Structure 1
Amino acid sequence: MLAIVGLVHVIPGVIALAPSRAATAYGTSIPDRDFELLLRHRAVLLGTVGIGLLVCAFMPAARPVTIAAGIISTASFLALTAVIGPSQLNSRTLRVARVDVIALVALIAATCLLAVGG
């Protein structure tokens, strides 16, 4: 479960290397270099969380902090989606939000399983 959620976070990291992919992923254009910088930085942060989740799938000592980072990452995107309002967002961004709902549920389930099973 952690590895799958890790991949969900790593995949958007491609935007750090290929910002033109943002249009495909989020259904938006990059109007200027400032916006490109922000998107690329977001991609690096998502990729970092994703790599951490992939690592912690196999290294139990890294799990508490890394799972917390994954929960914060996904929950914050969903909270911001709610604040902005889904009706203000395009279908591709809403698809990202739906994937984040699944990722958040998986991270919470992983946390519960680890708490019960050790």
Structure 2
Amino acid sequence: MLDGMWTALAFAIVGAIHLMPVAPVFVPETLSRLYGIAPSDTTLLVLMRHRALLLALVGILCLWASWAPGVRPAALLAAAINVVGFLGFYALYGNPAGALRTIAIADLVALPPLAFAAWMTLMRT
């Protein structure tokens, strides 16, 4: 019973981290605060708002997984691809400073609860 509560909490934490940058979906002007870019380039605006939407999808999936064990494998896959993928690209490009470093730190914070959720979901069942 306690294991299930900790697993649910881990998924909720990962979900909350993924939902933090959702603001640009609704308020494009927040892109400059979050990422240090002005939303004047239409192509960049579309891509960054779409990124926010996809992160929200992963966040919602993880929150859903916090109370629906059947959703956990899909949530793990989506969150792991996102977190590991971003950290991989971040490292590939030399760990740049600024807003990208903040995103990398958030993803590093998400790694322990994601790893715990993966262990509890995949190895302990």
TM-score (norm 2): 0.85
Cα offset for 1:23?
1.3
Counterpart check, 1:4 vs 2:5: no
Structure 2 partner of 1:33: 42
Tell me how far apart the structure 2 counterparts of residues 80 and 106 of structure 1 sit (CA, whole Å).
Answer: 21
Q: Percent identity?
A: 31
Q: Does 1:20 align with 2:29?
A: yes
How far apart are residue 9 of structure 1 and its match?
A: 0.7
- Could you say which residue in structure 1 is the equivalent of 2:55? 46
Instruction: Indicate the RMSD between aligned Cα atoms, in angstroms.
Output: 1.4
Amino acid at match of 2:81: I
Residue 107 of structure 2 corresponds to residue 100 of structure 1: yes
**Partner of 1:57: helix, strand, or coil?**
helix
| Map of 2:6 onto structure 1 | none
Question: Which segments of structure 1 move beyond 4 Å, counting only runs of 4 or more?
Answer: none
Unaligned segments of structure 2, at least 5 residues: 1-9
1:50-107, Cα deviation, whole Å (9 max, x unpaired)? 0000001000000001111000011111111011111xx3322201101101212321
Aligned partners of 2:73 and 2:121 also within 8 Å: no
- Deviation for aligned residue 1:116: 4.5
CA distance in 1, matches of 2:44, 2:122: 40
Conservation of the 8 A alpha-carbon contact between 2:34 and 2:99: yes
The gaps in structure 1 that reach 5 residues or longer are none
Equivalent residues, number:
116
